[in-house]
Structure 1
Amino acid sequence: MSGIFISFEGSDGAGKTTALNSLLPLLKQKTDQEVVVSREPGGSPISEKIRKIILSVHDQDMDDRTEALLYAAARRQHLIDVILPALDDGKVIISDRFVDSSIAYQGGGRQIGVKEVAEINDFAINGTMPDLTVYFDVSPEVGLARIRKDHEGAMDRLEQEKIDFHKRVHDTYQELIKANSDRIVTVNAEQEPEKVVADALAVIIKKLPKTFNGGK
């Protein structure tokens, strides 16, 4: 495969999706490869159907392991439908969340176990991992405050979880960063949006200079 795979990660309220929207045109200017963006859970028709089930506020009784398995199933379909074809075509594929999210949210947040959730997802991704992961770091308190302000009460099932859940998610991300320092790079997401975008752009250019070398 000749393409490049980048994932964006972060706790709820980190602003990674907003940053990605601002980064996209800048990244396209700096590479000759086509840049495509997707998201998880979702990204392809079947995966989007699973997303609706996972995040629905009407499914509060969902078992934690069921949730983890649904995320892995959605990821597998997204991988087959979107990520692998993009890599085979030599494109740059940026996914808003990937496997680290499941390890942090279900393994840490739900307390199912980091090792257990990683094993479920190892089966789903079959060795495919991002070349680079940009982690947008924000404290749980700041992230939840942003969500409450921006969503005006329309929060999904995971966003509605209590602060202790979000603290466990954040802590697990920190463990993942330490264990994968060659792949995961942290950006301070509590800065002004323009600075967050500038820092993320600098990280991507530094880590992938052969791909983002000036471009068109």
Structure 2
Amino acid sequence: MLKAMHRPFHVAPWQLTLGCGLFKLLLAAGAFALPLLHVDALPKLVGWLLLAGGLSELLLSWTGRHSWVGRITFGSGALTLVLGALFVGGPWHGLYPLAPFVMIWFLLRALLSIDVAFQSRLTPMANWIWLLLRGFVDLALGLLLLAGAPFAMLVIAVFGEAPEFVRLFSATLGLSFAVAGGGLCAIALTQRRYRRPDPFMTNT
């Protein structure tokens, strides 16, 4: 009965999880640097950051596809790839037209992360607090964009896309990547410290 009620938390090698986490931290640094670049190039640059992040999550989710981490990284990776494709493939000028899609991305990732955090809280290697933190950070960022959208729309209509909006957008994206990357690094190091299979992996 216990085996039927639980999935293993993690089956991917800890080295791969750590690598994915570090890669996410690099993407966070790139996102924070976006205000230094030319505005017209930002949508496609953001799109490539998102595509890179989504592909890294899908790689991790494939090796851990029967695990809690696999579940969250597959869902998050798929959402991130879709959003990245919108940024890269669309005829966008500036970041604001894509802000509603980013807001939805944050909210969906938040719900997924919070759900997995609570379901994995009794698993020794889960570091479920990181998953919960990631969920609440993405939820807060999504609500922040939602709350600021009407004011930003008015300012952009009058003055064009202001540097302040670009900085806010890049900060929210960078923070999301940073928390996700930090969480994956923490999970990988916890798994390495235990140096034993997850008890729920046996005969699953």
Tell me whether the two structures share a fold, i.e. TM-score over 0.5: no
Q: Which has the larger radius of gyration?
A: 2
Interval containing the TM-score (normalised by the shorter chain): 0.3 to 0.5
TM score, norm. by length of structure 2 = 0.35
Structure number with the higher strand fraction is 1
Q: Which has the higher helix share?
A: 2
